[in-house]
Amino acid sequence: MDKESKNSAPQKIDFSNNPLAQRILKEGLAIQDRFSAEPVYAKTGKGYLKSVGVSEIAEAKLAMKRENAQVP
């Protein structure tokens, strides 16, 4: 390894204009309040996602139908 590659910091990737990254961020923030960490797993960061019920599934199916109807 030469000196430059060893001492240079890794390039920072900018996701601000990436549509996929923005969608993933939006979905993650939308479910953030539903995530509940288990005290037993506090050191590992594991937990579970609280269900909001059947209404969420119905809304997701309706949204998928709308998206599919818009695609030519």
Q: Is residue 34 one of the residues assigned to a domain?
A: yes
Q: Which domain holds residue 56?
A: 14-70
Which pLDDT score, from 0 to 100, does residue 55 have?
83
Q: Residue for token digits 């288990």?
A: 38
Q: Is residue 27 one of the residues assigned to a domain?
A: yes
Q: Is residue 2 one of the residues assigned to a domain?
A: no
49: β partners: 35
Q: Is residue 4 one of the residues assigned to a domain?
A: no
Q: Is residue 18 one of the residues assigned to a domain?
A: yes
> What would the pLDDT profile of 6-37 be if each residue is shown by its tens digit?
667 788 888 889 999 999 999 888 888 887 76
Q: For the chain, give the secondary structure using H, E and C.
A: CCHHHHHCCCCCCCCCCCHHHHHHHHHHHHHHHHEEECHHHCCCCCEEECCCCHHHHHHHHHHHHHHHHHCC
Q: Is residue 1 one of the residues assigned to a domain?
A: no
| pTM exceeds 0.75, yes or no | no
Q: Is residue 3 one of the residues assigned to a domain?
A: no
How many domains does the chain divide into? 1
Local confidence band at 52 (pLDDT 50, 70, 90 cut-offs)? confident
Q: Is residue 53 one of the residues assigned to a domain?
A: yes
Which pLDDT score, from 0 to 100, does residue 6 have?
61
